[in-house]
Amino acid sequence: MIPKISHRHPQGTSSLAALFSLSDRPNSISFSGGYPDPALFPKNELETAFQKRIKLASADLFQYQSVLGNPDLRGKIMYYVKRLGVTAETDQIMLTQGGQEAIKLLASLFLDKHDGLAVEGPTYIGAVEAFNEYQPTYYEIPMQPDGMDLDLLEKQLQQQQIKLIYVIPNFQNPTGYCMSIEKRKRLAKLASAYDALVIEDDPYRELRYQGQSLPPVKAFDQTGNVVMVNSFSKILSPALRCGWLLADPKIIAPLATLRLSFDCQSSNVVLEAIDQYLNDNDFAAHIHQLRKTYRTKLQAMLTGLAENLPKNCTFSQPTGGFFVWVTLPAELDAQKLLKLSKGVTFLPGKDLFVVSHQANHLRLNFTGTTTQQIKQGCQELGQVIQQALQPAIG
C-alpha cells in the first residue's frame, strides 16, 4: 500500500491545474489562461541562438554551473534594472525556472505555518498555490484602481505580524490595475518600518500600451525589504522557463543554499541560448511588436465587452498586461456561469480572493486569441450572462 501523501499537498485538482485544463478545452474560445500569442514567439531567431551557442561554446556548456545562473545574462539584467532606478550587482540576481519558481523559493525560505502573508484581493492563483503549501495566515487587502489599499495594509501591519507582502504593481493579474508611484514609495517605506518583505512580481512591466512606465517598488527600497521577481515568459517564451529575482545579499545567500535542494540551477543550455539571442537581436524591436499587437487585441476586447455585456456588468480598463477583470451582478456566480458557457472559457474569480472568495468576478485573457476570436468570444460571453440573468429578472 502506498503511504499517505503529506497534508501539505491537498488532494484533488488544483486551481492552477484546472486553469490549464480550461485553456485546452476543445471547440471553445479560451480567455482563461495567461497565454502569449504563439505567432509572436521569435522561433527562427531562438533556433539560431541555440545552434550558434552550442556550436561556439566549449563542452562546459553542458556541465553543472552556478546556482545563480549564467553570469552574462545576469549582467544584462543588472544593467536593465539600473535603468529602472534600482541599485544592483550581478551576484544579487538569481535566474530561476520561470517567475513561479522564484515565488516558490521565497515562500519556502520565509514562511512557517501561520506566518502572516498579505496579498492583493484578488491575486494571482499561481502565487496562492505556491504559498498554500506553507499554510500561512492570509490577509486579503482589496485592490483599488491605483493598486493595493495601503491604508488597510498599514492597519493590518500595525495589528498583525505580517512577514510577506505579495504584489503585482504593473497591470496586475487579474485586474489589470497599475499601482501609482505614490503607493510604490509608500509600500517600500511600510515594508521597512514593519520589518516585512515585499515580493514585487513584475512580469508585465514591458507590456505597457499607453502612458509612461513607472519605477518599480524596489527603486524606493533603502533597506533590502523588497525582492523583485520577473520573467521572460510573457515577453519571449514561456517554454524557456526563465525567470529571475533580485534580492539583498542577506537573502540571496540562504536562497542559493536552499535552491541546491530544489533543482540546483536552471538549464545552462537555455540560459546561454537566451544570452546569445539578446546579443544578436533587437529585443526592443521585439517588445515593440508585442505592444503593437497586444494593444490592438486589448482594444478589441474592451470594445467587444462594451457592446455585448449587460449594463449591470463592469470591467477594468487596463493600459497594458494580459487581462481584463469583469464584475458581474452580485447574484451571479462566475463558476456556475462557466458551466453554462460552451463556446468560451474564462477564469472564475472566487479562488483569486484568498479570504473573501467573492464569486461574481471573472478574468479574461486577450493576448492568446485572435481579434476575430475576441469579437466572437465577447458576443458569446454576453449571451451567457444574459441567459444567467433571466431567472433573476423573471
**pLDDT band for position 171 (cuts 50, 70, 90):** very high
* Domain match, 254 and 267 both: yes
Question: Can you give the residue range of the structural domain that contains 101?
Answer: 65-280
* Domain match, 148 and 160 both: yes
User: Of 249, 280, 311, which one is at a domain's C-terminal end?
Assistant: 280
Residues 341-362 have a mean pLDDT of 96
* Domain match, 96 and 164 both: yes
pLDDT at 108 over 90: yes
The mean pLDDT value of the chain amounts to 95
* Domain match, 71 and 162 both: yes
How many domains is the chain built from?
Answer: 2
pLDDT at 10 over 90: no
Residues 340-352 have a mean pLDDT of 94
> Strand pairing of 137-144 and 116-121?
parallel
Residues 28-50 have a mean pLDDT of 96
> For the ranges 68-72, 212-216, 318-322, 336-340, which has the lowest average pLDDT?
336-340
Contact yes or no for 118/139 (Cβ under 8 A):
yes
- Which pTM does this prediction carry? 0.95
pLDDT at 271 over 90: yes
CATH of the domain at 378: 3.90.1150.10
* Domain match, 259 and 197 both: yes
For residue 11, what pLDDT is reported?
A: 66
Contact yes or no for 219/86 (Cβ under 8 A):
yes
* Domain match, 385 and 273 both: no
Residues 137-152 have a mean pLDDT of 98
For residue 6, what pLDDT is reported?
A: 79
Helices (H), 309-348: 334-340
Q: Which residues pair with 116 in a beta bridge?
A: 137, 162
Helices (H), 210-282: 249-260, 268-280
Flag whether 262 is in a domain: yes
**pLDDT band for position 393 (cuts 50, 70, 90):** very low
* Domain match, 190 and 237 both: yes
pLDDT at 25 over 70: no
Flag whether 8 is in a domain: no
User: Of 280, 309, 341, which one is at a domain's C-terminal end?
Assistant: 280
Flag whether 167 is in a domain: yes
Q: What are phi and psi of 110, to 5 degrees?
A: -110, -30
**pLDDT band for position 394 (cuts 50, 70, 90):** very low
Residues 160-170 have a mean pLDDT of 98
CA–CA gap between residue 41 and residue 55 (Å, rounded): 23
CATH of the domain at 86: 3.40.640.10
Check the CA dihedral 240-295-150-326 and report its sign.
negative
Flag whether 193 is in a domain: yes
> Strand pairing of 243-246 and 226-231?
antiparallel
Could you give the percent of the chain with pLDDT greater than 70? 95
Residues 29-54 have a mean pLDDT of 97
> For the ranges 7-11, 16-20, 37-41, which has the lowest average pLDDT?
16-20
User: Long-range contact list for 82-90, CB < 8 A, 24+ apart?
Assistant: 84/215, 84/216, 84/219, 85/215, 85/216, 85/219, 86/216, 86/218, 86/219, 86/228, 86/246, 88/246
